[in-house]
Amino acid sequence: MLQKLGSQQISDPQGRPTPYYRALDAKTKDELSALLGLANTVSVTPANPTGTTSTTGLMMGLGSSAVLTPGVSSRAIVRVLGGIANTTSGDGAAVQIRYGTGTAPANGDALTGTGAGNVARFTAAAANQVGSFGCAALITGLVVGTAYWFDLGLAAGTGGAAKVQDLVVIIEERP
């Protein structure tokens, strides 16, 4: 349970100020994290990756900066927002979150890792038209203390070159 201490500021054993709340009876780090609603969050705005003409899809190379090492939980919420386009009128693109461990894939690498969440699809009404997209996934089964990279797989429709741009990647460890 949580106990509010009013306006009194309390300190941890090292004398650093802590919030106005303290957890009582928390038995584990997961329980404490859930009680306090703590989250390990990573937010990155990577450079625009090179697009692709591949209809099977390629990696966008975001994983070198979009990395989360879970500290207390085996779950994370991942959100990627940005622009999506195709150079050919009437053609499109599809994008999905992918994640894994080990060395993160580079821009243009073959699809790798595990796909997660929705596949966002876009069809350009005019050549080079940019639309907005959002992908989200709740990922479970992560191992505490293991670093995970997060990336996008991007595929062109039936022709033209697909690209994503102006990306924001938010990864949040959840209890």
User: Distance (Å, rounded) from C-alpha 72 to C-alpha 116?
Assistant: 21
Listed in sequence order, the residues at least 6 apart from 41 whose beta carbon sits closer than 8 Å to its beta carbon are 170, 171, 172, 173
CB 150 within 8 A of CB 171: yes
pLDDT digits (tens, 9 = 90+) for 17-74: 554 344 444 555 556 555 555 568 999 999 999 999 999 999 999 999 999 999 989 9
Q: Which of 52, 136, 156, 51 is nearest to 94 (CA)?
A: 156
Q: What is the pLDDT, as a whole number, of residue 1?
A: 38
DSSP 37: T
Q: What is the pLDDT, as a whole number, of residue 33?
A: 57
Q: Domain spans of the chain?
A: 2-36, 41-174
User: Distance (Å, rounded) from C-alpha 163 to C-alpha 155?
Assistant: 9
In which element (H, E) is residue 175 found? Answer: none
User: Distance (Å, rounded) from C-alpha 164 to C-alpha 170?
Assistant: 16
User: Distance (Å, rounded) from C-alpha 18 to C-alpha 74?
Assistant: 26
Q: What is the pLDDT, as a whole number, of residue 43?
A: 94
The highest-level CATH class for domain 41-174 is mainly beta
Q: Decide if pLDDT at 7 tops 50.
A: no
